[in-house]
Amino acid sequence: MYSALLFLLVLGTGACSKGGGGGTKTNTGNQPSVKVSDVTQARQTQASSFRFYIDLTVASQQAVTVGYVTSDGTAKAGVDYTAALGTITIPAGQTEVYVDVPVSGDSLRQANQTFYFTLNAVTGAVLGTAKATGTILNTDLLYLPTDTTGYTTPASYPGYHLAWSDEFNGNALSTGDWNYEQGGTGWGNAELENYTNRTQNVFVSAGHLVIEARQESYGGNNYTSGRLTTQGKQQFTYGRIDIRAKLPVAKGMWPALWMLGTDISTVPWPGCGETDIMELIGSSPGQVTGSLHWLQQGGAEGTYNHNYDLSAGDFSQQFHVFSIIWQKDSVQFLVDDQAYVNGGASVVTSGTYPFNSPFFFIFNVAVGGNWPGPPDNTTVFPQRMFVDYVRVFQQ
């Protein structure tokens, strides 16, 4: 913990101070009013200080003394900050002093926290704003552990070799493997989010990729989230693909782990083919869907899919493994090694079968859209998808 020492500094005339408090004025005879100002500041990974400014409305011809004390809100003394109790003097002719309250370092992404700084026992002035709030901003920090229980799959299979994987064990996303797609144009599905490349929405922590959807105003949208692709960096034809993930399941959420044909720039969707390894609609928290999409003869979209339903619980409670076994003319979908979709050339009865060509990955968490509909008052943000690993095995 940071030392309990409080830094007390009296600012003289002309010294630097926060805006509006540094000038010297003549007291007209009435007692000045004393106030304290709120402090809002991001928590640092190392110990830091919150500086509470104490101001007089006008300078006094005599020294003014002010007592102060801190108290807990959601932030707790001895854990999140060091309790402060004392008295400070504003010298005659001055209008501002400050008290530094130590705040402990941390890197845990969690809800913002508050504590209070209250003035009391004033002599030579009257109390104005006597209570200030210290708000510790934690929501952009980059450590977010999660319960790792759930289904897992082996790191090798007989007859296969590991062609590529990302275990997300570093401190940042590998830009050698992944691209950030950005923007808030609806993405063809009337989605409501703006996808960003910020660590607020996409980060790597404790061995997991985290894609976080937030309710916030950004770029003309009311939500933000993340959408990643391996386009131009990692592409594959055939093999077994395992993705271990834990999903957001609230109303209006639409997490997806999917693939598109690498020829999409010359063969527009759906002609390039789309393989949805997993999609979940938040209003059905215990159900995922595996799908194939292609272009039918005559120009309509072709779809073949099935749902997988958990026997109990939902997909946010534990990790599950979403897989495909992809061979020439065949794509089989599995959840926790249980096959539930057997697709392939036999189901593409109209149009050209696109699934014998290279595909790249897309991982995203959409907010709203034509399929899930918008969030409602039951949807609590942030919502997060955790990905433990993605592994591609080939023969």
Write out the catalytic residue numbers.
274, 279
* Rounded CA separation 113/133 (Å): 10
Q: Which long-range contacts (CB under 8 A, 24 or more apart) does 199-203 make?
A: 199/140, 199/142, 200/139, 200/140, 200/224, 201/225, 201/226, 202/173, 202/226, 202/228, 203/142, 203/144, 203/172, 203/173
* Rounded CA separation 370/116 (Å): 45
Tokens 């919502």 map to which residue? 383
* Rounded CA separation 134/186 (Å): 38
Tokens 């996303």 map to which residue? 173
* Rounded CA separation 278/261 (Å): 16
143 Cβ contact list (under 8 Å, min separation 6): 107, 108, 109, 205, 206
And the tokens for 57? 């409305």
Cα 368 from chain centroid (whole Å): 17
